[in-house]
Amino acid sequence: MSALRNLVDYHQFRKSRQPSAQKKAVSSQSRFPAGILPAEAAFRLLDSFGIPAVPTLLTRNAEEAATTAERIGFPVALKIESAQIGHKSDVGGVQLGLSSAAEVRDAFLRIRERVTTKLPTADIAGVAVQRMAPEGIEIILGIKRDPLFGPVVVCGFGGVLVELLKDVAIGIPPISRPQANSLLKGLRGWPLLTGLRGKPPADMDALCDAIVAVSNLAVGLGEQLLALDINPLVVHTKGHGVVAVDVLVQVC
């Protein structure tokens, strides 16, 4: 019965596809070197598909990090940059909520020391300085490659809600805005987006646009894209948009 239900859902999904969504693939992307994209390149890729992201710049020493932080505005986060490190926080490579140039300098040195102690052979490109995003609802949005269906779009609630809800929705690109909205309505945590207990509703238009954009990115990169994870995508209140805070892109 579960298999039949999933087959019916998939049939309805195929019927609901709109031709305009299928024609929106971007085929002019240059080929990337295989592996995990550096943070700046990954954020530029998101920007090229219209997915907003927090300002993020790579720095190579503590003084450059402090100057960059002053330029993009406090508070900032520092994150280690290395192709060999997928989960930066696991190796002490992340420092959040820094509010002065002095804090940035100290954090830069601490991050480099912690990471090189744990991973002495890692090739470290530098430390990314990133403006802290305002609070909002955290969403996980990405692309996984399924052996049967190929690339699929995955979205769900991020942050502490990941383990609590285990609540994700899956769609096959290309995805239209109505389909994106339908995916979100299928989440058990949907009421969190609509304004639960007097809280203002989330910017659903911007969130749907981001889902469509990720779908277009999957189609545009085609077989080159192995995986993409935006975690989190922070969704602000209605009219204030969304912003990607962290992204991991793996290509072949």
* Residue closest to 125 by CA, chosen among 27, 192, 42, 203: 42
Distance, in Å, from the CA atom of 60 to the CA atom of 77, rounded to the nearest integer, reads: 15
DSSP letter at 223? G
Q: How many residues does the chain have?
A: 252
Distance, in Å, from the CA atom of 152 to the CA atom of 150, rounded to the nearest integer, reads: 6
- Domain residue spans of the chain: 37-54+133-247, 55-131
- pTM comes to 0.84
Residue given tokens 């109505």 in the structure block: 178
Q: Class assignment of domain 37-54+133-247?
A: alpha beta
Whether 207 and 193 have beta carbons less than 8 Å apart is answered as yes
* Residue closest to 179 by CA, chosen among 216, 131, 147: 216
Q: Which residues pair with 251 in a beta bridge?
A: 35, 225
Give pLDDT tens digits along the chain (252 positions).
555 455 556 555 555 554 444 434 444 456 788 888 988 899 999 999 999 999 999 999 999 999 999 999 999 999 999 988 878 989 999 999 999 999 999 999 999 999 999 999 999 999 999 999 999 999 999 999 988 888 999 999 876 556 666 788 999 999 999 999 999 999 988 998 998 877 899 999 999 999 999 999 999 999 999 999 999 999 999 999 999 999 999 998
Task: List the CATH code of the domain at 55-131.
Answer: 3.30.1490.20
